[in-house]
Structure formats: structure tokens, C-alpha cells
Amino acid sequence: MNASVAPHSTSQYSTRIYGEDAPLFAEMVQRFLQQEVEPYFEQWEADHQVPRQLWNTLGEAGLLGVDLPEAYGGSGAEFEISQLICEEISRQGFGGVGSGYNIHANIVMPYILHIGTEAQKQQWLPKMASGEVVGAIAMTEPGAGSDLAALRTRAEKVPEGWKINGSKIFITNGLLADMVIVCAKTDPQAGAKGVSLFLVDASLPGFSKGKGIHKIGQHSSDTAELFFEDLIVPEDALLGELNKGFVYLMQELPRERLGVASQALGAMEGALQLTLDYVQERKAFGQRIGDFQNTRFKLAEVKAQIELGRAYFNQCMQRYSEGAMSATDAATLKLMLSEMQCKTIDECLQLFGGYGYTTEYPISRFYVDARIQTIYAGTSEIMKEVIARSLLGR
């Protein structure tokens, strides 16, 4: 399978939304992907793991934490550029790399930047920007996904700091992570209001990692189970205020879901281009598949969906930059674009016929990589509940 699947146009990155430097950043990301990812991606997919060196290479290229202040190792670019990078990785068909990148650079680093103390920022952010430290965030547990009140991982105050016991599952970057933001109960009687966040060094005694979890898609995104057994972290490992974890999670959700939406947009753009190329070459009944009215209508519907999705995405990007993007906006965006991604890529695959169901054609990877988008970062059902509560005043 050819890993590079999308053309190298940057026209979708409006300078009005992404800034004047967007075309240059997009071209730089494309060159990086061609040189450092494309030649090796099939092997990474087979290995179910990206190599640790990729993170160092991303850091050397200046692609980690691009919107961090220069004082913490970033480039001081606008946050929109980080979304552009997520989108471009997915548009090129490297969904597993995109999810790992989104967690590290678009979720974990902003948590520390927005909530952390100056000492925590200095300790972790420069190393994350260089790729020396790989980040992950650990919320989901075997018995608790979106329901934070059901968390069983506990952090107990002890003279040395905090003692953490419990486990997490489905943690992106879990195998390679050097530092993990761990959500734990610090007040077991307070439900979701008793959750705190901790910056946990993965090399500490009591921290262990399970085997990588093999998934139906995004194979190169390492996903693991994590275990904490009498893990002692220092007092200053607490991220933000005690028992304010739920508040912080809600505060950071808009950016997390923007990242998921940017991946969806990129994947849809890439899948559409693959399909356009295929239907203009493949023939059936004496004519190109693209000459059939059904094909043209299906492609028109996909294009229209992408344009509508991008319009709302751009609107949310502007709201976020103004500090006005709400949790409902984020839920609406995540629901709409993740569901749209699955449906449009399914329509694209259908036009490939039997070839679309083979791993020889990259459209199949777009298809299986898309499926997780309606599940992680909040399932579609949870997104509907968030939207409904805003409507009904609950």
C-alpha cells in the first residue's frame, strides 16, 4: 500500500483562519511527512507502534508545541497552526501518528501551560517541545469512561506527597510515555467534584505499563493499559488545585475536540482525493466509474459535507481564539465531524468496490482509522447528552 495518498495543495488552509504563515507551515509539514513518515509508515503499522525516535525528530523539526511561548521551547505561533498540523497528518493518511501527536501537543501540553505552576512548566514543556519527553493523559478506566464519578484510581495524601493506586486503559501514547497526566480520586465521597490531576513521571517505582492494545485501526498509535501500585509522587506533582480536576477537564475540552475535528477534516479531504483519483482511472461497463451519475452525485455529497463541516470548524476556531468557545460548541463540532467522517469515508470506500475492502488500497486504512473518532474524546452519545442539556437547561 502506498502510504502517501493526498495531493500537496494547501488551499484549504485559509490565511484568514490559520494566519499568514499557514501555507509555509503546511508545506513544511508535508515535506516532513514525505521524508520522515511516508517511507516507514507501513512498517510502523505492522509493528503497531511508532518508533521513539519519531518524537525527537518531530521536536528537531519544530513541530511539537508550535504555539507554546518561546520561553518554553515553542515557536510562539498561533494555536491554529497546531490544528493545521493535526489535519495535514490525517489528510496524508497517517491517522495513527495524528492521534498520538494530538494527545501530546494539542492536549497534554496546553494542560500544563494553562494550569501548571511556573516550575511545572519549566520542568516539562521544553522537554516535550524537543521530543525528549512524550506525554499522555490517563482518564479512562476498565470500569469508567466518560463517567468521572466512577473513577477507582485513588490518590491518597502521605508524608512524601501522594500515593496513587489504580489502573487506566486505552491510553494513547501509553507505551512510549515519559510523563502522564493521571486523573485520580482525592475525595472519594465527592463524586466528580473529588477528582484531581497529577503529573506523573513514568519512570517512578510503582508505575508499570501493560502490553500494547491491538485495535482495528490506527495501528501505529500505541495504546496501552497503565498500572499504579503504591506509586509515590511528590507534593508538587499535583496539577492545578486539589479536587478541581473535573473543572480543568471541562475547561480544556474545546481544544481537545478541535483537535479531533481537525483530524476528521483532514481524513475526509484525503479520502475524497483518493476516490477522485480512482474513479477517473477505473472503468466498468465501458466507461470510467466517474462517468456514472451515481458516482458524481455521491462525490458531490461528500464535497458538500466537507465544506459545511469546515465552515463550522472555522467558526469554532475563531470562537476559541476569542475565548468564547463553549462546551456545547465543542460537543456539537465533535459530534458532527466525527460522525460525518465515518459516513463520508464509507461512501468513498463504496465507490472502490471490492478493492476498497483490501489493504492494498489506502482507502481501507482511512475507513478503519475513522471508526474510533466517534468513541474517543467523548462518545457521540455523550456529545448528544451535552447538547441536549444545554437545550433543556439541565
Distance of alpha carbon 207 from alpha carbon 213, whole angstroms: 18
State how beta strands 238-239 and 223-233 pair.
unpaired
Copy the grid coordinates of residue 255. 481544544
Percent helix, strand, coil in the chain, to 5, is: 55, 15, 30
Distance of alpha carbon 274 from alpha carbon 276, whole angstroms: 6
99 closest CA partner among 372, 310, 364, 333? 372
Cβ atoms of 44 and 38 within 8 Å: the answer is no
| CA-to-CA separations, 187 to 156, 157, 166, 245, 351, in angstroms, rounded | 9, 11, 15, 11, 54
Catalytic choice (241, 256, 281, 347): 256
HEC assignment per residue over 284-303 = ECCEEHHHCHHHHHHHHHHH
Q: Residue 168 pairs with which residues in a beta bridge? A: 226
Cell 478541535 belongs to 258
Residues 172, 26, 4: CA angle, nearest 5 degrees:
65
Distance of alpha carbon 326 from alpha carbon 343, whole angstroms: 26
Is 256 one of the catalytic residues?
yes
113 closest CA partner among 28, 208, 53, 199? 199
Q: Residue 172 pairs with which residues in a beta bridge? A: 223
Q: Which distant-in-sequence residues (6+ apart) come within 8 Å of 151 by Cβ?
A: 141, 144, 166, 183, 184, 185, 195
Copy the grid coordinates of residue 387. 447538547
Residues noted as catalytic: 256
